[in-house]
Amino acid sequence: MAQIKQADLKVQTDDQLATALQELKREQFNLRFQSATGQLEKPGRIREVRRTIARIKTLQHGRKIIASQQGA
């Protein structure tokens, strides 16, 4: 999976973000496993995945706050 930019994430729906988050977490697990067994080819990819996961979670949290404010 290629690096995802912030602008690309903002236009995705909540379901698309959840799917992307699930895929990234799976990739993160695989990268950690490769790192532990010494088979990791791109060590920088771990950092990219971790930061993209954080971006998605930040967007999801912000949308949750906006939704709760509109509902109140």
- The pLDDT score that the predictor gives to residue 7 is 84
Q: Please write the tens of the pLDDT for every residue from 33-59.
A: 999 999 999 999 999 999 999 999 999
DSSP-based three-state secondary structure for 9: helix
- H or E element in which residue 24 lies: helix 14-36
Sign of CA dihedral 23, 24, 26, 30: positive
Residue 31: burial class (beta carbons within 10 Å; 0-12, 13-18, 19+): buried
pLDDT tens for 5-35 read 788 888 899 999 999 999 999 999 999 999 9
